[in-house]
Amino acid sequence: MERLDKFLSRELNITRSESKSLIKSGAVLVNSAPARFADMKINTDSDCVFVNGNEITYNKFVYIMMNKPKGVISSSDGRKTGEKTVVDILPAEMKRKNLFPAGRLDKDTTGFVLITDDGAFAHDILSPKNHIEKTYIAQLDKPFDSSVVYDFENGMELNGKKCMPALLESACGDNTKAKIVLKQGMYHQIKRMFKKHGITVLELKRVAMGALQLDKNLAPGQAKYISKDELSLVKSAHNMGDFR
């Protein structure tokens, strides 16, 4: 059972207050009766909900984009270490069972984390075989030069392991701010890739997964549902252009 306003805001990707206004306006029917109360409980297995005559289908899984702030971990369970997780800081109305982040960012890395309860989807986008492109912006302590770009593009070795080719380009005039596109996710990968060239990453933010960009309107710690159309962008290649 679920509150009607919560169901509508998730399935229609609208705010809770927009759901409430919709219910108030008489546009929402549950089975064949107009819904009157936002806190009415519906059974998502058996009740049929209509908005302006269109049936709203229940999606089994949810997909959430969070702008991860610093200081929280990309995990669903911080009990062992007492740390706050990305799932802990979700707003109450978005919380549900079995949510976890599909992929990891370091505790001090900010930006796009995809949180879901769809294990198969997460497995798919995390599989090293699928080469989902992740785009980052890094603030560096000193500028990189063409030898660093060459090493990124040719698949550098980290602790004896060859990395996949990665894109590195300037994100500002003096090469102290970089855009990086990775197709894999090794432990501390970007920090280690720069460290190999004597460069320290001061700030790191993930700004896109595939062709889906982090919503610029999300403040650190904020989250929103991802629509089906947006979700399909995660799997499309975007930033690497010819560089594949």
Binding site for ligand URA (CB under 6 A): 105-106, 109, 188-191, 204
State in angstroms the smallest separation of the CB of 182 from ligand URA.
Answer: 7
Nearest residue to 65 via CA among 120, 92, 103 = 103
Q: How far is CA 118 from CA 97, 99, 102, 184, in A?
A: 11, 8, 9, 20
Q: How far is the CB of 194 from ligand URA (least distance, A)?
A: 9
Of 177 and 191, nearer to ligand URA (C-beta) is 191
| Choice between 77 and 108, CB closer to ligand URA | 108
Output the CA torsion sign for 22, 28, 30, 35.
positive
> Considering only CA atoms, which of 95, 93, 135 is closest in space to residue 115?
95
106 is known as an active-site residue: yes
CA-nearest of 83, 130, 138 to 111 is: 138
Beta bridge partners of 131: none
Distance of alpha carbon 2 from alpha carbon 56, whole angstroms = 14
Shortest reach from residue 198's CB to ligand URA, in Å:
16
Residue closer to ligand URA (CB basis): 142 or 188: 188
Min separation Cβ 233 and ligand URA, Å: 20
Closest of 205, 202, 203, 228 to residue 218, by C-alpha? 205
Which lies closer to ligand URA via its Cβ, residue 3 or residue 191? 191
Closer CB to ligand URA, 26 or 71, in the complex? 71
C-beta of 241: minimal distance to ligand URA in Å?
21
Contacts of 66 (CB under 8 A, 6+ apart): 86, 89, 90, 112, 113, 114, 115, 218, 221, 222, 223
Measured in degrees and rounded to the nearest 5, phi and psi for residue 81 equal: -105, -5
Written as six digits, the tokens of 60 are 């089994």
Active-site pick, 5, 39, 77, 106? 106
Catalytic site positions:
106
